[in-house]
Amino acid sequence: MPAQHDIAAETELWDAYAASAFEDDAEPSFCWTQYAGHGPGPELLGEPRSVLEIGCGTGRSLAYLAQRGIAARGVDLSPVMVEKTTTKWAGTGAEFVCSEALEYLSEHKEVYDAVYSIFGAAWFTDPGRLFPLVRRRLKPGGVFAFSQPPAIPGAYGPQGMYKGGFAGKAMFTYRYSYRPAVWERLLTRAGFAVADARILGAPQPGHIGTLLVHAVTP
Ligand SMILES: C[S@@+](CC[C@H](N)C(=O)[O-])C[C@H]1O[C@@H](n2cnc3c(N)ncnc32)[C@H](O)[C@@H]1O
């Protein structure tokens, strides 16, 4: 049976995450990996004039880009998170929209120089549905880039994930894991001209690395 996304339930899960993960004193920053200052920076996006972040969470990277003159919009499923980011980053020019990513990409016809996700919606949505939608929302030569943890060997496809411990209300979502070669195949199948997926090692040997994916439209 395929993954059974229940968007209302996932929204509740991410609202709970927002309540604990958002830091009022956060500063704008841009990092693809889970290790501050490690790995490439926003140059992976090229030199965009407009970007869309899908699953933008705390909004720190959008605030960083907006402060550098880029038209920066983010979509996130959690109304709690979007309320917090809209207030927190109001002075930067970044714009935050509360929406499910697939729905937003289907319904809004605006196109961008780059679409990206940092441990965001590209991790939590079916790539078979997401990638063709992202491709349509990019200008020619536009960049799609995302990062997330690498797959655990042998555990591929949608992976069910409960919120918090294993007691209490059953809140779950799915995250999607594949080997780099499979990510590349999914992207070229969705019409991207170039696709590169690789695993960047952690700063410390034996620690969890980061899957980094970069694709360009024809
Ligand atoms: C791990 S957090 C994001 C990390 C983000 N880069 C940050 O710095 O906070 C994942 C985010 O993706 C959002 N999300 C998950 N599934 C989504 C979907 N289908 N559409 C839009 N946003 C989604 C969640 O609400 C959450 O804020």
Distance of alpha carbon 163 from its chain centroid, rounded? 18
CB 73 within 8 A of CB 51: yes
Tell which residue, 158, 169, 149, 166, has the closest CA to residue 210.
Answer: 149
Residue nearest ligand 1's atom 23 by CA: 55
User: How much distance in Å is there from the Cα of 98 to the middle of ligand 1?
Assistant: 11
Whether residue 217 has pLDDT greater than 80: yes
Question: Looking at residue 61, what is its pLDDT?
Answer: 98
Work out whether the CA dihedral 180, 73, 49, 67 comes out positive or negative: negative
Question: Looking at residue 171, what is its pLDDT?
Answer: 87
Q: Could you tell me the residue ranges of all domains in the chain?
A: 7-21+28-216
Rounded mean pLDDT, 183-202: 98
Averaged pLDDT score across all residues of the chain: 96
Q: What band does 2 get if pLDDT is binned at 50, 70 and 90?
A: confident
Which CATH entry fits the domain spanning 7-21+28-216: 3.20.20.30, 3.20.20.60, 3.40.50.150, 3.20.110.20?
Answer: 3.40.50.150
Q: Is the CB of 58 under 6 A from ligand 1?
A: yes
DSSP annotation of 197 reads E
Beta bridge partners of 157: 177
DSSP annotation of 76 reads E
Contacts of 6 (CB under 8 A, 6+ apart): none
Residue nearest ligand 1's atom 14 by CA: 55
Q: What band does 207 get if pLDDT is binned at 50, 70 and 90?
A: very high
Whether residue 159 has pLDDT greater than 90: yes
Q: Which residues of 101-113 are buried (b: 16+ CB within 10 A; e: fewer)?
A: bbebbeeeeeebb
pLDDT, tens digit, 9 for 90 and up, residues 111-154? 999 999 999 999 999 999 999 999 999 999 999 999 999 999 99
Do the strands 71-76 and 50-54 form a parallel or antiparallel pair, or are they unpaired?
Answer: parallel
Length of the chain measured in residues: 218
Rounded mean pLDDT, 164-180: 90
Q: Is the CB of 148 under 6 A from ligand 1?
A: no
| pTM to 2 decimal places | 0.97
Whether residue 53 has pLDDT greater than 80: yes
